[in-house]
Amino acid sequence: MDSAIEKLKKKAIDKKGINAADAKKLYEIGTVKPFLLMAHANEIREHFKGKMINLCSIINAKSGVCPENCRFCAQSAHYHTDAPIYPLIATGEIVEQARMAREAGVHLFSIVTSGTRISDNKEWQVIYGAVEGINNLGIRSCASLGMLDEGMATGLAKAGLFRYHHNLETARSFFDNICTTHDYEEDIHTLRIAKHAGLSVCSGGIMGLGENMMHRIELAITLKEAGVDSVPINILNPIVGTPLQNAPALTPTEILLTVAIFRFILPDKDIRLCGGKEKNLRQLLPLSIIAGCNSLMTGNYLTTLGRDTIQDIEMIRDMGLEVLEPVRRES
């Protein structure tokens, strides 16, 4: 088994990734020797990323009444949940939250809004102003605003946005089980538009929606083909009131194997562990880095609580690794 993983590790490093058939073999090995697979994934991470771990944080800048029917989402207007509902908050408040994140040690801060897309010009002006304010703090700006057209993407690039985030959520072959209010290709199109505008692109999905490992591998291959730069891996935190409120939890080992396989498929990309990591990995959270992730979302999420950044930084340093720090600004 060790020699088989060694060959696939070399292929991942030399060819910048493995294919779906290779990934299936890895999973079969990982179900028998999960820690062996994680150790090799860790070596791939260190080859491309060294000992540096970067942190990102988000703000739920516009919440609720989303017309999409994603079966996991607390903010969908199709379901009755306790998620907050409010319009786009002011530029100053977004920038202040970014300042607090920067002071905590966060390297990248993202503006996240509910809904299919931003269509109001006044909202765009708020977002442009927030992007400028975030950049002036010395941290990188990111936005997750739904679908884009070319004009929107160009406007964000001119405003100075570093990265655009838009999750595919799951594999194309499983997508209709999760959302029926838009087509998968619309999401792919938004990634292409963002890349064409010169933006760094972040896209991943949620694990534990009822998909299997083959679906996760399919998603990873799609992300590789799309040429994304950052891959967020979320783990479902079932929300009461949504169709997936009773979805069974993934085991920590299954989550860690998923991270490791993503690292083999996407060896030189930022693999970012995000929502649900604390609840689902529990005491095994540090092993997510050994399994191959080089980035963490820290602080709270859109509608659920996360983990204090101090704890994440302590964990990283206790592992003998370093935190990528934001640019220091003169006071």
Average pLDDT, integer, range 250-259: 98
pLDDT tens-digit readout, 175-212: 999 999 999 999 999 999 999 999 999 999 999 999 99
Class level of CATH domain 2-316: alpha beta
What average pLDDT does the chain have? 95
Q: Tell me the whole-structure pTM to 2 decimals.
A: 0.96
Whether residue 304 is predicted with pLDDT greater than 80 in this model: the reply is no
- Report which DSSP code applies to 171: -
Longest Cα–Cα distance of the chain, Å, equals 58
Q: What is the pLDDT of residue 297?
A: 95
pLDDT tens-digit readout, 129-138: 999 999 999 9
CA nearest to 18, candidates 266, 244, 283: 266
Average pLDDT, integer, range 141-165: 98
| Domain extent listing, the chain | 2-316
Whether residue 327 is predicted with pLDDT greater than 80 in this model: the reply is no
CA torsion angle for 276, 282, 285, 286 (degrees, to 10)?
Answer: 160
Can you tell me which residue has the tokens 């010169």? 198
Q: Say how many C-beta atoms besides its own lie within 10 A of residue 34's C-beta.
A: 18
Whether residue 305 is predicted with pLDDT greater than 80 in this model: the reply is no
Q: What is the pLDDT of residue 328?
A: 55
Amino acid at 327: V
Binning pLDDT at 50, 70 and 90, where does residue 16 land? confident
Q: Which residues pair with 230 in a beta bridge?
A: 202, 270
CA nearest to 285, candidates 316, 262, 323: 316
Instruction: Using the Cα atoms of residue 108, residue 109, residue 111 and residue 116 in order, give the sign of their dihedral.
Output: positive
